[in-house]
Chains A and B, each alone.
Chain A
Amino acid sequence: METTRRDFLMVGTKLLVMTAATAAALEHVLAGAPEAAAAGPYNTAEHWWAMLIDVEKCIGGGHCVRACKTENNVVDEPMYFRTWVERYHINMSDPDHPIVDSPNGGINGFSEKYADGDGKTFFVPKMCNHCADSPCTQVCPVGATFRTNDGVVLVDKDYCVGCRYCVQACPYGCRYLDPRTHTADKCTLCYHRLTKGLVPACVEVCPTGARQIADLKNPNDPAHEYLRTHKIQVLKPQMATGAKVYYNGLDGAVR
């Protein structure tokens, strides 16, 4: 087959574009694994995990909810979520009583509901707060749910008796009983990914970077700088649970 100058240019351009795309993709994959630098086996004593959520960056697209359901095989019913997104609407004449919705956990995003200038509207992603003094692990009668050395609250499915006391004890509504296993289920902070040096699925897919994983024991983690330079709040601080999901720009009306 004869190669014309035209063909050559076409193929050459395509190759160039593809190489650039591959390089960009490769960079993206590597960027998603900042902890990969710490080669060798994962040592729980070297980490203390937390999460940063920037309310001002969340656009309510629901990518995190979808990614979480897929990555963690969360049961596909509209009442069970490891993470979900709430839309708050606050009418300035009644700031104490916000109007909140979260259709199907925000999995498909939100349709327009409020006109511009009509009060304020914002999105709040919710997930397990991986509390340092978690009431859910306190009440478990068999110790099937526990906080790991590195600060992640997990459930041992092979040990949980399914009494649901932990679901009652969580002030944030982050737990549910998995109807398939009849055991308690909740966000694991994608522990299977963390221990391989990857970030949680919700962090990975967030298009605006509203969610950031933070290793508070790693002095080089940019989270320290972020926490230092932003006004940070946790949900329901009066519960004194040692919540470790730190919100930037959280409105006082959020529960």
Chain B
Amino acid sequence: MPGVDGFMYPNEVELQWSVLIVLYPFITGLVAGAFILASLERVFNVAAVKPTYRLALLTALAFLLVAPLPLQMHLGHPERSFEMMFTPHTTSAMAMFGFVYLWYLMVVLVVEIWLEYRRELVLAARASTGLKRLFYRVITLGSDNISPASLRIDDQVGRIVTIIGIPSAFLLHGYVGFIFGSIKANPWWSTPMMPIVFLFSAIVSGIALVLLLYIATSWIRRATVDMPCVDAVATYLFYAFLVDFALEMIDLIHRIYEADESFRALDFMVKTRLFTSQIVLQIGLGTLVPIGLLGLTQLLRLRDRTRVRIYVTAGVLTLVGILAMRWNVVIGGQLFSKSFLGYTTYKMGFATREGLLPAVLVLLLPLGILAALVKLLPPWASADAAHS
């Protein structure tokens, strides 16, 4: 059979989960990571990263809104997907996604953003007229009280929501890891490390994304990049990356040393079909190079301009590396036969329902949503004020 080396069970020849399912953990990871960065400022009072706080929240929201889309596009019967909410099968890891998602979206993220922006929304409602006024009035949910006492309550409630939010963000992405890690039929996925590795790689990717977005939006607005802020964010990225890399290496070394029945098959796969995406992109360009670059900024005294360039390079490489990691988990887990006797090939379409084009559009869509959110709820006012 074309594309098959050795022996596959016949039903395995065709891959089940496409590039869209690669995007699903990538996007939810960005959400969780961006939110955890925002929480640092809020809960641990890290003043230096404050300029990224609102941007991180809006980024998390923009990507979270898109997160279910690749799943819907992939389903054989998307019109039945609501059954997962109405008649969930309690033993299914996947059935919990709707609840974890809604909890995170409605209880954590939207509430926190609303509390953060309430004062400005009320002021905007007062200052505008006509339809615009109506819009802002609806968004404020009719609340008009911005007395210092009421804002203090907002702040306290917001803090509590963030404190609930951190374990929720951990839950959201740890849970996505569990979807893969709990499949005992697949030795490439089945490891209790999976939720933890997913979680830390999520934190890494989310921090990298917010760092890049902050620098990019500063350039677009022709504002100066707040160096203490990006330095602090880059330091977090560096240390989160070290933990993430250590976890991934523990998993890898453990697999190599144990060398169980699946090892020969998986080892061969990594050295051949996954070599570019796993060794070159994920571990080399996507992990070692950015860790090295970020390490340089920790060791050497570099000029501001050089540091920003390094942060941008490291950030982009990080995102490429984490995307490659998702690819290697999702696609890699389907390239070998569960008989361990052969390998198949993933044939990605272009303009097909699950092809490259829709995947690229799904990845760009959150950036469009973020642009709209930034217009509607400008994150800069307070950021610039905090800095001045």
Contacts and interface: CB of A to CB of B under 8 A. Distances in A.
Interface of A: 78-81, 84, 86, 98-102, 105, 126, 135, 138-143, 159-165, 167-177, 181-183, 239, 255
A182 B77 contact: yes
Given A138-B92, A163-B74, 15 more contacts: A84-B10, A100-B339, A102-B7, A139-B91, A139-B92, A140-B89, A141-B95, A142-B83, A163-B71, A165-B94, A165-B179, A168-B17, A168-B334, A169-B183, A173-B337
Given A168-B16, A170-B185, A161 B10 contact: no
A11 B179 CA distance: 72
Interface residues of B, number: 41
B186 interface: yes
B interface majority secondary structure: loop
Interface in B322-379: 334, 337-341
6 contacts: A140-B89, A140-B92, A164-B17, A164-B76, A165-B92, A173-B10
Nearest to A103: B1
Contacts of A167: 11, 16
A175 B10 CA distance: 10
A173 B9 contact: yes
B16 A177 contact: yes
A109 to B, nearest CB: 15
B89 A183 contact: no
B88 A142 contact: yes
A239 B10 contact: no
Given A139-B93, A168-B16, A161 B81 contact: yes
A171 B185 contact: yes
Interface string B65-77: 0000001001111
Nearest to A254: B339
Interface centre among A78, A86, A99, A163 (most CB of B within 10 A): A163
Interface of B: 1, 7-14, 16-17, 71, 74-78, 80-81, 83-84, 87-89, 91-95, 97, 179, 183-186, 334, 337-341
Contacts of A163: 71, 74-76, 94
Contact of A159 (B8, B13, B83, B179): B83
Given A159-B83, A168-B185, A102 B10 contact: yes
A142 B84 contact: yes
A139 B341 contact: no
A168 B334 CA distance: 8
Given A142-B89, A162-B77, A79 B183 contact: no
Contact of B186 (A141, A162, A168, A183): A168
Contacts of A81: 10-11
A78 B7 CA distance: 14
Given A139-B93, A143-B87, A167-B16, A182 B76 contact: yes
Nearest to B21: A164
Contact of B11 (A139, A171, A176, A181): A176
B27 to A, nearest CB: 17
A99 B1 CA distance: 15
Nearest to A235: B339
B7 A161 contact: no
B77 A160 contact: yes
A143 B88 CA distance: 7
A95 to B, nearest CB: 14
Contacts of A182: 76-77
- Report, nearest first, the 3 A-B pairs whose CB atoms are least far apart: A162-B76, A173-B9, A182-B76
Given A102-B7, A172-B338, A177-B16, A161 B76 contact: yes
A160 B339 CA distance: 27
A102 B75 CA distance: 30
B184 A135 contact: yes
Contacts of A239: 184-185
A176 B14 CA distance: 9
Contacts of B12: 173
Contacts of B1: 78-79
A173 B17 contact: no
Given A80-B11, A161-B83, A167-B11, A255 B341 contact: yes
Nearest to A255: B339
B278 to A, nearest CB: 20
A70 to B, nearest CB: 17
A59 to B, nearest CB: 20
A213 B13 CA distance: 29
Contacts of A141: 84, 88-89, 92, 94-95, 97
A162 B83 contact: no
Contacts of B338: 171-173, 255
A164 B14 CA distance: 12
B76 A177 contact: yes
